């Protein structure tokens, strides 16, 4: 079977690498792809926000199955149009993608189906939002309702900070995404991401991972798309996984189906593990990036089989198998990220991939036969080990072999798991 993978990040490099291992795969195409993905797929320059260009390409090249990596084309309805054209699609419908596209939608779903999450209110004007914050007090969380590239959330430690965040949203900083604001209770605990495949009715629990969202060591500085991750997240004990499935995931799948837009694809719950148990912070309707990179290092099952069963509504009875051994990835980003950064800086040397080490490319390109960094997040140096500490040591040793002057990285990825291991 010929497959088209949509996307160009480290997540898609990891998916391409894993899809390429399937004996059922014919040709793998990727749009637009990157130089790392090129080792496993034919990269093609398609406008992935244009359904017609995807449909025409698939007809021309006999592609039957389209796998969407990022959420933007799904939220915009491109996936629906490709599905309506008769192609098999991995990724939710536009209506179901609202689980990520609208925080207000997800909060209302939680309220309706009794899913544990922070208490919240939705506002369309600053005056009422500020009055609510003043009445509730700090700490409190202010969120732009729509997609704001992970930057629309302020965890405010003071009322003044929350008021400023509300002004920011309504002044248009996040465009249309900030036309509505969600104000939410602050949840205290340890975060984890939990991934699930669903075909609309059946749910298949995948595994857990922990991201590092802040740009700086010690979880300081502004939020980013993610500076590193490891899998599994030790805080997700078998009991926590069972509770997450029964209290959060299963009511979500049931609720989405009842509301007339069943969810088909992968989603992950951003969880806060509080003293009361797992509570939902947010949903994303795709694999996480860089969480996907560590998950693919651990996946023993055939990825193409799993994605196809999801898209065909035949997920019941499938299992996903994972290595016990953890994986950890460190993101190397362009200096200045998540603010502005220089483009086209030379990457002069990379270590070799091996059994326990892989470099997944994100914002890279070939220019005049040289590998250059074109994006904010550029490389994912990913390793496995018997412990998180061993995986971390391997990843950082490999970073020592990367020659890229304009790159930087966090030096403490995995710190929570490593301190747990040291305490054992």
The Cα–Cα gap between 70 and 6 comes to 7
Of the pair 145, 291, the CB lying nearest ligand GLY is at 291
Residue 118 interface partner, choices ligand AMP, ligand GLY, none, CB cut-off 5-8 Å depending on type: ligand AMP
What is the nearest approach in angstroms of ligand GLY to the Cβ of residue 235? 17
How many whole angstroms from its chain centre is CA 397? Answer: 26
275 — phi, psi (to 5°)?
-60, -25
Q: Which of 158, 278, 269 lies closest to 207 in space, CA to CA? A: 269
* Least separation in angstroms between CB 214 and ligand GLY: 12
Give the one entry of ligand GLY, ligand AMP, none that residue 145 binds, where binding means its C-beta sits below a cut-off of 5 to 8 angstroms depending on kind.
Answer: none
329: three-class secondary structure by DSSP: strand
Which of the listed partners (ligand GLY, ligand AMP, none) does 282 bind, with a CB threshold of 5 to 8 Å by partner kind?
Answer: ligand AMP
Task: Report the first-to-last Cα separation within the chain, whole angstroms.
Answer: 47
Give kind and range of the element (H or E) at residue 306.
helix 303-312
User: Please, what is the minimum distance in Å from the beta carbon of residue 14 to ligand GLY?
Assistant: 12
# chain residues binding ligand AMP, by CB under 6 A: 14
Site for ligand AMP in 181-240 (CB under 6 A): 184, 186-187, 191, 213, 223
CA 377 to chain centre: 13
CB 272 within 8 A of CB 79: no
Residue nearest to ligand GLY (CB): 226
Encoded tokens for 265: 């694809």
Q: State how far the alpha carbon of 94 is from the alpha carbons of 36, 53, 214, 293, 327, in Å.
A: 29, 18, 29, 25, 32
Smallest separation, CB 284 to ligand GLY (Å): 5
Q: Which residues of the chain form contacts with ligand GLY (CB under 6 A)? A: 211, 225-226, 284, 288-289, 291
Residues 117-156, interacting with ligand AMP (CB under 6 A): 118, 141, 150, 153, 155
With CB under 5 to 8 Å by kind, the binding choice for 187 among ligand AMP, ligand GLY, none is ligand AMP
- Cross-strand pairs, 26: none
**Which of the stretches 28-36, 62-70, 179-187, 303-311 binds ligand AMP when contact is defined by CB under 6 A?**
179-187
Angle between helices 291-298 and 10-19 in degrees, nearest 10: 20
Question: Which residues make up the interface to ligand AMP (CB under 6 A)?
Answer: 118, 141, 150, 153, 155, 184, 186-187, 191, 213, 223, 270, 281-282
């Amino acid at each position: 079977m010929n497959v088209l993978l949509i996307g160009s990040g480290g997540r898609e490099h990891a998916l391409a690498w894993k899809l390429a291992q399937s004996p059922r795969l014919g040709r793998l195409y990727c749009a637009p792809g990157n130089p790392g993905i090129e080792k496993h797929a034919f990269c093609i320059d398609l406008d992935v926000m244009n359904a017609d260009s995807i449909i025409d390409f698939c007809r021309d090249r006999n592609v039957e199955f389209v796998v969407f990596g990022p959420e933007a084309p799904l939220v915009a309805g491109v996936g629906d149009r490709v599905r309506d054209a008769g192609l098999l699609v991995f990724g939710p419908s536009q209506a179901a993608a609202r689980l990520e596209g609208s925080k207000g939608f997800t909060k209302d779903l939680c309220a309706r189906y009794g899913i544990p999450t922070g208490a919240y209110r939705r506002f369309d004007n600053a005056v009422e939002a500020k009055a609510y914050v003043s009445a509730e007090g700090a700490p409190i969380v202010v969120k732009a309702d729509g997609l704001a590239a992970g930057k629309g959330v302020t965890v405010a430690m003071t009322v003044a900070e929350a008021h400023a965040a509300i002004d920011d949203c309504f002044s248009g900083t996040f465009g249309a995404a900030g036309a509505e604001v969600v104000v939410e209770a602050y949840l205290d605990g340890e975060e984890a991401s939990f991934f699930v495949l669903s075909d609309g009715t059946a749910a298949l629990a995948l595994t857990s991972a922990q991201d590092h969202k802040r740009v700086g060591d010690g979880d300081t500085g502004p939020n980013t798309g993610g500076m590193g991750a490891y899998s599994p997240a030790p805080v997700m004990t078998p009991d926590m996984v069972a509770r997450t499935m029964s209290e959060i995931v299963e009511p979500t799948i049931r609720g989405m189906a009842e509301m007339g837009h069943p969810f088909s694809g992968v989603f992950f719950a951003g969880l806060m593990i509080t003293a009361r148990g797992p509570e939902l912070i947010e949903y994303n309707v795709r694999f996480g990036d860089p969480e996907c990179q560590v998950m693919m290092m651990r996946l023993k099952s055939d990825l193409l089989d799993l994605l196809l069963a999801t898209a065909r509504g035949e997920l019941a009875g499938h299992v996903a198998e994972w290595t016990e051994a953890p994986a950890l990835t460190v993101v190397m980003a362009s200096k200045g990220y998540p603010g502005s950064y220089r483009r086209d800086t030379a990457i002069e040397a990379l270590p070799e991939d091996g059994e326990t080490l892989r470099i997944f490319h994100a914002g890279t390109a070939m220019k005049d036969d040289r590998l250059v960094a074109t994006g904010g997040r550029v490389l994912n140096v990913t390793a496995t080990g018997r412990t998180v500490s061993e995986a971390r040591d391997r990843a950082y040793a490999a970073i020592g072999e990367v020659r890229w002057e304009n790159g930087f990285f966090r030096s403490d990825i995995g710190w929570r798991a490593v301190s747990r291991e040291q305490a054992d």
